[in-house]
Amino acid sequence: MAMVDRNVDIEERHVEKRHDSSMVASTFIKYAAYIILTFGVLYFLVRYVFPMF
């Protein structure tokens, strides 16, 4: 077996996770609104539409 002599430069990368609190807050508000709207539609269906049948 032939040994291959390779000179490999390893590049180190340090990734810093940036935490933007306004982005987190807006995402939370968006998904909270989706959940509230979903439950509102379900409540409307159960309370007013299903009793008609």
Total of domains in the chain: 1
Any domain includes 34: yes
Q: For residue 1, is pLDDT > 80?
A: no
Any domain includes 1: no
Give the model's confidence band at 2: pLDDT under 50 very low, under 70 low, under 90 confident, else very high.
Answer: low
- Residue 25: Cβ within 10 Å count: 10
Q: Tell me how far apart the terminal alpha carbons of the chain are, to the nearest angstrom.
A: 80
Q: Which two tokens stand for residue 11?
A: 């590049």
Q: Domain range spanning residue 37? A: 7-52
- What pLDDT digit, counting tens, does each position of 4-41 carry? 666 777 788 877 776 788 899 999 999 999 999 999 99
